[in-house]
Structure 1
Amino acid sequence: MPVHPPAPSDLGELVDAYARTVQNVIDLGRTMRPDDATRPTDCPGWTVLDQVAHVASTEAMVAGEPVPDLDVSGHAHVRHEFGARMEKYVESRRGRSLEEVLDELEERLDERLRVYRSGTEWASTPVDGPFGRTTLGDLLGVRVFDIWMHEQDIREALDRPGDLDSSAAAHTVSRLFAALPRIIARDAAIEPGNAVVLDLTGPTTGRAGARVEEQDGRAVGIPLFTGGADEHPDVVTTSLTMSTRVATRLAGGRRAPEDLHVVVHGDEDVARRVLAALVITP
């Protein structure tokens, strides 16, 4: 079952998804009440203002800003090298007002769109991404996922739900679906002979899953619903049904499974292990 609405299928649609989710962060920031910027969010240690600063500073990183030379070791929420790198960018903007950070983000959006809407040649440009060397086109896919996730962090903190049926939301769901075979077989260590299906009820809807087979002595996740007609042994299927919001809060590691509404049909232990492993963010 395809994701609906559909995820971006070409570079132009991906650029449009990027522009919309960044603009949403700006619009949320421009319409906050005076005390909203200091509200805590689902990212430990980060306020709403820190979330906006993260989006702005990561766009600055994409544009070539070097990692600030700052000590962030005193922050309890910094748990690894990647987190420390991101925290240094946020730390460099602490002390700035919300309006100043929003002004920077607006400038960065204009700057990036001049590049992204200049043609398609830029997409093959080699760049340093957060996880190593990549291309600017592939990095944009990561940025859409990341910014939309932080947009949702801000919306959750402000109790202003929305944008759960956009192309950026569909892009995020598609990334989760693509990771499911690995999550089920490797991260959750579900035994061969099982299958797990994830059903999203909306606003972005879709279905994905995988069955687990043993190949060369190890468990491998085989995607379901691919349209293929290959025969395979019978499996025991566990189905997990949830909303787009719940799925993406889990995918971002923002909430614990027991704090969210999920309907399980099948093996409760399998469900528990998959839900705990559903995180696809660092």
Structure 2
Amino acid sequence: MPEFYDVIFERRDVRAEFTGEAVAEEVLMRILGAAHAAPSVGLSQPWDFVVVRDQGVREAFAEHVLREREVFAATLDAERAATFATIKVDGVRESTLSVVVTYDPGRGAPAVLGRHSIADAGLYSVCLAIQNLWLAATAEDLGVGWVSFYREEFVAGLLGIPEGIRPVAWLCLGPVTHRHRVPDLERKGWRGRVPLTDLVHEDGWREQNVRQPSSLLRHTRGAGPYGGHPGHMADSGDPVPAHLRLADVLRERITSGEIQLDSPLPSEESLRRDHGLDPDDVRRAVQVLSDEGLVYTGRDGNVYVSSRAEETGGG
């Protein structure tokens, strides 16, 4: 089980790190097989995979991406444009090959089971296949980069895709020198990851201020625990569930450096006593932090601050 989560957290959108080395055919087919194993609405399997190795085709696409990059850059203010100038948006030339994943809305039509009330369910199915492909490639120690700076009609014409079939993703794929621990857009200061606790609602929608930071460090240190001082949370009257408030308190202590890298969290008993919570709430709070990659359980059964906390300002 830990290996599965390792793959999820190690997955990165790769750009400059491709080596261009060959990908064995059996490895490519394993990856595409994982993509094809994705769930799909009505078992419609509305995807196709166009493997692009031809250097001339990839070069034509790379030039198109450059033009679209310039179009986007022209819409930015000076500060944002300066940040964007440092961000590489594709690895088309550097990668070994590309895989273009398409969506055929006519596959299984007209009676696609489960799509009658959600027209986009087929497109969602394709996205699940793309995620499977990405995770499988990561498990094979390869990199994937999703290029989104293109016009669908250009790609359709370049690859001879029939009318009505949409190119959903142009994915660069191949061996890499390494994968950064922190996503490029966080490292470059474009966006930071929003804490999970800002996005979890229980038994209905809860109004919340989801921040959109350009700096993850600034974001996490500025967030603070819900309701101010932690105190006893069980009967605070705060509409935010107690375990999420405790998770916020612990996250603040980690990202501020109060609890150091590889140091243990306070014991379950002390957290329960100090915050007036029952054991289940404490365990759920720790699980939230574990899901975010901030903590891990050691062989001794204690919970420790993960090295990933360094990426959010801790340690």
* TM-score normalised by the chain length of structure 1: 0.29
More helix by share: 1
* TM-score normalised by the chain length of structure 2: 0.27
* Structure (1 or 2) with the larger CA radius of gyration: 2
More strand by share: 1
